[in-house]
Amino acid sequence: MSRFSAFVKKEFRHILRDRRTLMILFGMPVVQVLLFGFVLTNEIKNAAVAILDPSKDVSSISLTNQLLSSGYFRLERNLSSTEELEPAFRSGKIKMAVVFPPDFAQQLAHEGKAQLQLIGDASDPNAATTLINYANAIVLDWQAAQNRSAAVPPLRIEAQTRMLYNPEQKAVFNFVPGVMTLILMLISAMMTSITLAREKEMGTMEVLLVSPLRPIQIILGKTAPYLVLSFVNALIVVLLGMFVFGMPLRGSVLLLAGECFLYMFVSLSLGIFISTRANTQIAALFMSGLGLMMPTMLLSGFIFPRESMPMALQVIGNIVPATWFNPIIKGIMIKGVGLETLWLNTLVLGFMALFFIAISMRNFKDRLA
């Protein structure tokens, strides 16, 4: 039996014996993706609306039909007077109301324009804005259709917007890559730093160092199992994104796997770096939690857009590996681009890995011995 394989075997035993941690390691990515995918979604479907239509003419009925058949809105009730609006919103039964004037079709026909009121429930501002935007778009669509059928089309400029790559603006397209950066960092960095700190805490590190195992074998032996775990997890997250949420994988699978390994390598080297500083498991947990998890979540652009951050935070965000890795996953999966576009991000990650491996290898012997 080779020394190294004996070591890796032992490491797998530690991991497999600790069932609770193992369940967290594999359960967490699944729960996170499902939660982010289903709960934290920006898109709205079947929002309850009320319609107040005193005119009940061809135009108002046609527009109403178009709104309700879009899939975004569901008719909760028809109102007969403006007095009913307020109680309907208060009861929370409706998210938006559409109010037509009494002579909608006539106004359109004679004056060429008509007023239409869209009322949103801004106690949830994000949802209200989204709904009003959807409704506006549908009204514009309807208007365009009307103009086309009219004999003399009035001159007007229409701005046509198209959301590329993710036309439905599915939030999960953003969360799957985000969760991946987080999970890989968590398992690779946090778990390796904790497992190395544990050897120090238990006093077994001394024995390993006195043994004929070389320091590099100790590090590789400790990290190799986590590399495997991380990769399995990355696979789970990608498959969930694709088969549960319909995320595309337009680029090269091989490139995606390679980039995942690169990012895991950076994370592992960070974990090793932390373990050369932390002497206890708790210290390692805090250092990786605060020093790696938080920036990965908050500064990488996963949850908050980097463009709206203050300059200082953007600069700090640049040293977070996830900032560079996140666009890589999105690029490969959603846009289908290759290395010709992603070379800079790949290069930065490569340098980060080399840098942290170099300084932790230098620290390792002095610190652990």
Partner 1 sequence: MQAVIQTDRLTKTFGHFTAVDAISFEVAPGEIFGFLGANGAGKTTALKMLTGLLKPSQGKAFVAGYDVERYPEEVKRRIGYMSQRFSLYEDLTVRENIRFYGGIYGLSTPDIRRKTGLLLDKLQLGAQADALVGSLPLGWKQKLAFSVALLHEPRIVFLDEPTSGVDPLTRRQFWDLIYEAAHQGVTLMVTTHYMDESEYCDRVSIMVDGRMDALDTPGNLKKHFSAADMDEVFRRLARPDEPVVRDGHVPHIFKSPEE
Footprint of partner 1 (CB under 8 A):
1-3, 5-7, 9-10, 13-14, 17-18, 202-204, 206-214, 369
Which residue in the block uniquely carries the two structure tokens 């969360």? 175
Q: How many CB atoms lie within 10 A of CB 321?
A: 28
**Smallest gap from residue 238 Cβ to partner 1 (A):** 32
* CB of 86 or CB of 206, closer to partner 1: 206
**Smallest gap from residue 14 Cβ to partner 1 (A):** 6
Pair of tokens at residue 214: 């070389």
Are the C-beta atoms of residues 196 and 221 closer than 8 Å to each other?
no
* CB of 214 or CB of 250, closer to partner 1: 214
Query: What residues are paired with 73 via a beta bridge?
Result: 47
* CB of 192 or CB of 296, closer to partner 1: 192
* CB of 11 or CB of 84, closer to partner 1: 11
Which residue in the block uniquely carries the two structure tokens 């091989």? 254
Query: What residues are paired with 120 via a beta bridge?
Result: 96
What is the amino acid identity at position 14?
A: H
Are the C-beta atoms of residues 63 and 139 closer than 8 Å to each other?
yes
Q: How many CB atoms lie within 10 A of CB 38?
A: 12
The rounded distance, in Å, linking the Cα atoms of 333 and 172 is: 12
* CB of 140 or CB of 207, closer to partner 1: 207
* CB of 20 or CB of 113, closer to partner 1: 20
**Smallest gap from residue 281 Cβ to partner 1 (A):** 13
**Beta-carbon contacts of residue 19 (< 8 Å; ≥ 6 apart):** none
**Smallest gap from residue 367 Cβ to partner 1 (A):** 12
**Smallest gap from residue 233 Cβ to partner 1 (A):** 22
- The bridge status of strand 47-52 relative to strand 73-79 is parallel
**Smallest gap from residue 134 Cβ to partner 1 (A):** 55
* CB of 203 or CB of 310, closer to partner 1: 203
**Smallest gap from residue 124 Cβ to partner 1 (A):** 49
Nearest-5° Cα angle at 207, 205 to 212: 110
Long-range contacts of 20-25 (CB under 8 A, 24+ apart): 25/187, 25/191, 25/229, 25/233
Which residue in the block uniquely carries the two structure tokens 């324009």? 113
**Beta-carbon contacts of residue 341 (< 8 Å; ≥ 6 apart):** 331
DSSP-derived secondary structure letter, 39: T
**Smallest gap from residue 22 Cβ to partner 1 (A):** 13
* CB of 335 or CB of 367, closer to partner 1: 367
Are the C-beta atoms of residues 77 and 123 closer than 8 Å to each other?
no
Burial class (CB in 10 A: 0-12, 13-18, 19+), 328: buried
The rounded distance, in Å, linking the Cα atoms of 329 and 242 is: 13
* CB of 7 or CB of 324, closer to partner 1: 7
**Smallest gap from residue 8 Cβ to partner 1 (A):** 10
